[in-house]
Amino acid sequence: MSSTEIAYEKKEHIMDIAEKLFAEYGYEAVSTRKLAADAQVNIAMISYYFGSKEDLYLAVIERRILSLRTATHIIDDKHMTHLDKLLHLVDMIIDRFFENRLFHQIMYREMGMSNRSKIFNFMMDKWLHNFNILKHIIEDGIQKKVFKKVDAGFTILTIIGTPRMYVQSDHMAQKIMNLKSLDEVYMLEMKNRLKNHLKDLITNHLSK
């Protein structure tokens, strides 16, 4: 293993710990000392690797944003119905929420704040692009009369808001659902229940 690989792993390790702490306590509430202690590195390493605490924060976010692809292969598929496309996208969205729980906690908390920096406008643009894809499918379906005349904008808020509610408010959702643990088996079960619920909901909402 080369030194650059070790440095890379160390950087990633710091980012992993940072992501966890930022998601759990929020950016301001996490001190560089607490961060360094949890990651078991010297405080100076944060500046050394990332420049500053804020740059680390942005790096943590950027790492996840880059992994968010657009599902063009679904959107452009000529053989899928409007509803099938939508249900596939719902599936993808929920998978992403569960894959990147910590990131979503950070991101949506940030979106509720007053504009913090350029990266969030970038993040916003990325998401708005995805939202507009959903919106376009719904509106196109309405125009082609395969969907009921629903409020497309708020329908998207429901599609995003439901998994967000579950993922972002861990403790709360856990109690609503009467969950006892948060282990992987439960998580998978919950994810599937969520998918079924949302797909059912959307199907009934849009079908004539």
Partner DNA sequence: CAAAATTAATCAATCGTTTAATTAATTAAC
Partner DNA sequence: GTTAATTAATTAAACGATTGATTAATTTTG
Q: Cβ 34 to DNA, closest distance in Å?
A: 7
CA 126 to chain CA centroid, Å, is 12
Among 16, 20, 26, 47, binds DNA (CB under 7 A): 47
| Count of residues interacting with its own copies (CB under 8 A) | 52
Closest CA to 86 of 136, 31, 20, 22: 136
Token readout for 193 is: 């229940």
CA 65/CA 67 separation, integer angstroms: 5
- Look at the block and give the residue holding tokens 């939508």: 86
Question: Contact at 8 Å (CB) between 208 and 147?
Answer: yes
State in angstroms the smallest separation of the CB of 57 from DNA: 9
Q: Pick from 96, 97, 166, 191: which binds its own copies (CB under 8 A)?
A: 166
Taking the C-alpha atoms of residue 81 and residue 110, their distance in angstroms, rounded to an integer, is 35
What is the chain's alpha carbon radius of gyration, rounded to the nearest angstrom?
20
CA 124, distance to chain mean position in Å, is 12
Q: In terms of CB distance, is 6 or 165 closer to DNA?
A: 6
Interface characters, 1-30, with DNA (x: CB under 7 A): -xxx-xx--x-------------------x
Shortest Å, Cβ 105 to DNA: 19
Residues at the interface with its own copies (CB under 8 A)? 24-29, 105, 108-109, 111-115, 124, 127-128, 131, 135, 150-151, 153-158, 160-162, 164-166, 168-173, 175-178, 193-194, 196-198, 200-201, 204-205
The contact set with DNA (CB under 7 A) reads 2-4, 6-7, 10, 30-34, 41-48, 51-54
